[in-house]
Amino acid sequence: MGMVTRLAFLLALVLAAAAPGQEGFREDFRGAASLAERGWRVAAEPAVSQWRLADDALEMTAFHAPYRGGRIEHDLPAAPAQGAIEFRVTLAVEGEQNFNHLCLAVIVGDFMTALKNYGSCTWLLHKGQGAWRTLSDHVPMRREVTFRVVYDLPARYAEFYCDNMDDPVAVDTDFHPTLQGPLQFMNYGLCTGRVVNRIHAVSVGSEAVAGVAVSPVPRAIVFQGLDDSGPGIVKAVAQVAPGITVHVYTVQTVGAAITPHNKFRLDRMPSRQRLREAELIVLADCPLTPDVFPDFLAANLTERVRGGGRLLITGGWFGLGKSGCRDAWLQDLLPVTLAGPWQVETLPAPVAVVGPVLTGQTLPAVTRLHRLALRDGTDARVLLSAGELPVWGSSAYGKGRVDVLLSVPDPAAPAASTAALYELVVGQMLK
């Protein structure tokens, strides 16, 4: 390569570190430039670890040298207050059987995360003073995996993604590094023989630099609780608004029911960005205990509704019943006043529903419902009722809207009438 051509190539590398208007650093290790020409500095004994470019990746080879390591580093521009750190890695390209307690750390200034083998490969976050938090203990090996940290320093908030870039595997609500200092990859720990890891790309900076995209597709999020209303609402969204993408998060029971206190968890958590993109959010008989809705998720959901999202809560034995929501964050959003954990009432006989939104649909008669009154001092209104009992209440919340369906689904009701009810509710809320 001639001198002029080589200078032009190196200039292109510098310019490609971040596109115009984007703040940060990006490296994919492609091309003919050496590590030194790219600005990387190696600090390692060759008998302990070796760092080189190979197959469009940064290849780290570790040898049996108990608890001795090496590192490679690159200077960074100042990290933005809100941004992302992303790296793509293949662990144990060679020598998986030797991995043992070998660790590959990724460091940005005073922030450190590490991949370490404890029987299965684990992704860890360093919390300071020797304390570590497990982010994921199911990190794949011998194939390329993407890791992403989306952070908001003023809010002390960060989301951690592993392999699946849709939903975070963990959230940190006390995230407060300065992110001031060089980018480093470091190996340390113990391997029983030669191990080869590859780093395919790394980026630090704005979310645009890391490739975090905002979806142009309208979304709905359904938190599927313990009854059958969730699948019915998903079908209603597909029928009423086929252009909306629906994401379902399912409540799971945890452990045996050996005490009167039920334990639940969500199968996964939606990101803050996904909630911000949601036109409709549904809590389908969803418990509101802290294990299901931790404070950060409740805050993200509330922020979205206040900013213009629409929230639908369906009645059931858990969502408005014994889940403890009367003392939870949700009570400030509701158009009705919660009475207590056991307010589901079975009516003496089925009661037909009436209301200003009906246009000839055949809806299921109400056999059980939460006997709740509209909240005083709000603009809450009744859209459907069974006699004098509210069945569907609605009120504004900030720029958004919160609706509550107080009837409890009746398994004996004709499927077509139940579908008509959900399509009516979803259609009205998405107007």
pLDDT tens figures, 274-291:
999 999 999 998 887 777
Angle in degrees, CA 414, 417, 419, rounded to 5: 110
pLDDT tens figures, 218-231:
899 999 988 878 89
Q: For 304-342, give one letter per residue: b (16+ CB within 10 A) or e.
A: bbeeebbbbbbbbbbbbbbbebbebbbeebbbbebeebe
Whether the predicted pLDDT of 84 surpasses 60: yes
Count, residues in the chain = 431
Q: Return the beta strands (E) in 189-244 as ranges.
A: 195-205, 219-224
Whether the predicted pLDDT of 14 surpasses 50: no
The predicted model scores a pTM of 0.87
The CATH number of domain 22-210 is 1.20.1250.20? no
CATH for 219-429 is: 3.40.50.880
Instruction: Tally Cβ neighbours within 10 Å of residue 77.
Output: 12
Whether the predicted pLDDT of 104 surpasses 70: yes
- Output the six-digit token pair for 228: 């059958």
pLDDT tens figures, 379-425:
899 999 999 999 999 999 999 999 999 998 888 889 999 999 999 99
Mean pLDDT of 158-163: 96
Locate CATH 3.40.50.880 in the chain. Answer: 219-429
With 0-12 CB in 10 A as exposed, 13-18 as middle and 19+ as buried, what is 347? middle
pLDDT tens figures, 124-143:
999 988 899 999 998 999 99
**How far apart (Å, rounded) are the C-alpha atoms in residues 369 and 382?**
14
Phi and psi (nearest 5°) for 235?
-65, -35
Locate CATH 2.60.120.200 in the chain. Answer: 22-210
Whether the predicted pLDDT of 10 surpasses 90: no
Whether the predicted pLDDT of 241 surpasses 50: yes
Whether the predicted pLDDT of 148 surpasses 90: yes
Tokens 């011998």, residue? 142
Mean pLDDT of 110-127: 88
**How far apart (Å, rounded) are the C-alpha atoms in residues 142 and 356?**
60
CB 72 within 8 A of CB 43: yes
pLDDT tens figures, 297-329:
999 999 999 999 999 999 887 877 665 555 567
CB 395 within 8 A of CB 375: yes
pLDDT tens figures, 192-214:
999 999 999 999 998 766 666 66
Q: Return the beta strands (E) in 206-269 as ranges.
A: 219-224, 245-253, 264-266
pLDDT tens figures, 335-351:
988 776 667 889 999 99
Distance from the Cα of residue 265 to its chain's centroid: 14
CA distances from 122 to 117, 188, 198 (A): 6, 15, 17
* Residue among 18, 37, 195 at smallest CA distance from 102: 195
The proportion of the chain whose per-residue pLDDT surpasses 70, expressed as a percent, equals 87
